[in-house]
Structure 1
């Protein structure tokens, strides 16, 4: 066998192995016949590849139906399933003020989660990396797994991320993108947090043209156009810098640049409550302690001062939706993050302000159902997608022991 033939044979084995493993990742228990129907491979090829995946530690052979009391005639079908001990994936939302970790199996079933508050500016890059490593270790320990079980960790950070996991120059971005690969065990992928939020939303409600707005302290957008996630050469797609431009030009006074809805609600309430002449329940609490949740709760209870803030946020969202729809032909805008569970009044007002005379369909405005976990859930989804895309690039635990 010459070198070209050997390479071709090896490539064919890899293609067949990847096809079988992808099938195994989405099935509970399967037979060779079921795998043949999906992959188009012959029985002999399926059985041979499955044996190889068993030896590699990806699959395990299980008893046939006779073990459950069934006694079909003829030779029993060989049955396989994904080996649970093959490994796990980890998602980490590495925000400025908190870390959230989820450990999931290779079918996406969440095994354990932890969340902790952090002081990023006090910790510095090294401290953020060390804190992430310890929180992941504790979460793995909670579910009886070890760092060696992790096939892939996907980290979401509030910074632009290019295709190589790097951020542009900038003190804050440098701090957020803290060199996690040098601190965490195994293979690590770093991604922008809003992009991961978009990944989570697309998996939950598939849409080929969608903007996911991650809004709390800052605004960031994960943009999916024609079914593809936009990134840009420096990872800057979706950074919403045009909001800073509008503020600098005073086109929309007191809008706070790229501040998120949480930051704006808090800022507007604290800065204007002393000059508000009507009655407001927010005066019952210290001005410096009012937060966005207080504003939203007061609006739900009919407080006119809080309702005015909700209206201003709705007007801001309507302008953003029009810009995104005009530039990118976005069909759906999702508001994501911890504030999403209370955002419906803002969405209602924004919908009422969208122009109806453009001749184009209005973008749908909806709230995410993931709440504060949208980024970390997107990290898990991203990890599973990468493993399914290139299974041969990962080694199960047995092969690394």
Structure 2
């Protein structure tokens, strides 16, 4: 195969069309690829053979040999090679670092998480991220040359170039310590994204937003963050700040960008102190130590009908309604999905929010949902994004390089 097949416009278009089809088709024949990609038979077969030579597709036993065909000429059968490369992802939070490796079929090969110290310097954080990624790849038995794409999620606004603006207290610089440059040689394609934007990617690919073109993924654990999708496009802004929630420091009845977990704990302590002063019976939430109560405790008790816990979840529901109302008035989403580990038990808060949401917005109120993806929503979004970039950028480059050597 000569170089022109990879560099001519029609050749690249044909390869892309067949690769697009093969990416999710499973086992297929040349006829199926031809029809799906709107190509002539000879062009489809040429593209398939090129992708086989580049190690992206492999040919399976024909239908007769597989016992699925009885008469006539057996059709050649093909599929994407899951070992044609791997993708990697990182979720670099303030207190944890998660790494995951997956094959091109989307199967996670390994996931490793370590704690992080919020007191790390920028240099220490950068070194920790690099070391954790390399250890995870080594444990998974993956060589650097196998990694097509790497996507990193950070708790900071991120530009399309992977950089974060300065933060008054240095938080964004520590969370994203120049990772786009530090990791540039760790994969063919490297991308750094805001964590809430990756939550939105996960919800769109495998969560509550499948098929939706207008939605907000609201990361609502320790701090608020939003991944905003409008008309099918994930919004960023000039500095990557779309979805940053520090504006809620100035919104009445919300007053901060802290997440639903801290709000549950703060209001629980207030309610518990009041109940103790009134001499209420010490059971349920009232029997707990205010100094150690956690948001999850409140949610679990609210689900059982504990009156004090329900008082707290109702109050937090009103806060959430205010937040969703602002997002609804600004972005007009079809859905707002509450994401993160806290989503598992958040339904009492959502129920309370729904009762007042219509009064917070002049447009039709968005549907308020809880994510089913749990605390892995960011790493799953990063893997989904890395797989997308492997398909759109890294694999075509490798096919082109392979073609020049044939």
Normalising by the residue count of structure 1, what TM-score does the alignment of the two structures yield? Answer: 0.88
Q: State the distance in 1 between where 2:327 and 2:289 align.
A: 38
**What displacement does 1:275 show?**
3.9
- Contact 1:57 / 1:83 at 8 angstroms: preserved in 2? yes
Q: State the distance in 1 between where 2:6 and 2:368 align.
A: 50
Cα deviation code 1:186-239 (max 9, x no counterpart)? 231000010111111122322111111101111011111111111111111111
- Contact 1:151 / 1:394 at 8 angstroms: preserved in 2? no
> How many residues end up aligned between the 2 structures?
388
Relative to structure 1, the CA distance from residue 394 to residue 369 in structure 2 (aligned partners, 3 Å threshold; closer, same or farther) is: farther
Which residue does the alignment assign to 1:219? 224
- Contact 1:120 / 1:128 at 8 angstroms: preserved in 2? no
Relative to structure 1, the CA distance from residue 328 to residue 9 in structure 2 (aligned partners, 3 Å threshold; closer, same or farther) is: closer
**What displacement does 1:315 show?**
0.2
**What displacement does 1:167 show?**
0.9
Which residue does the alignment assign to 1:150? 147
Q: State the distance in 2 between where 1:164 and 1:346 align.
A: 37
SS at match of 1:384: helix
1:230 to 213, 235, 239: 235
**What displacement does 1:100 show?**
2.0
Bigger Cα displacement from structure 2, 67-76 vs 21-30: 67-76
**What displacement does 1:109 show?**
2.2
Which residue does the alignment assign to 2:175? 176
Normalising by the residue count of structure 2, what TM-score does the alignment of the two structures yield? Answer: 0.87
Bigger Cα displacement from structure 2, 362-371 vs 98-107: 98-107
- Contact 2:5 / 2:11 at 8 angstroms: preserved in 1? no
Q: State the distance in 2 between where 1:68 and 1:146 align.
A: 33
Superposed, which structure 2 residues align to 1:252-401 within 5 Å?
252=253, 255-270=254-269, 273-276=272-275, 277=278, 278-279=280-281, 281-282=284-285, 284-355=287-358, 360-390=363-393, 393-395=396-398
**What displacement does 1:173 show?**
0.5
Q: Which sections of structure 2, spanning at least 5 residues, go unmatched?
A: none
Pair 1:160-2:157 in alignment = yes
Task: State the superposition RMSD in angstroms.
Answer: 2.6
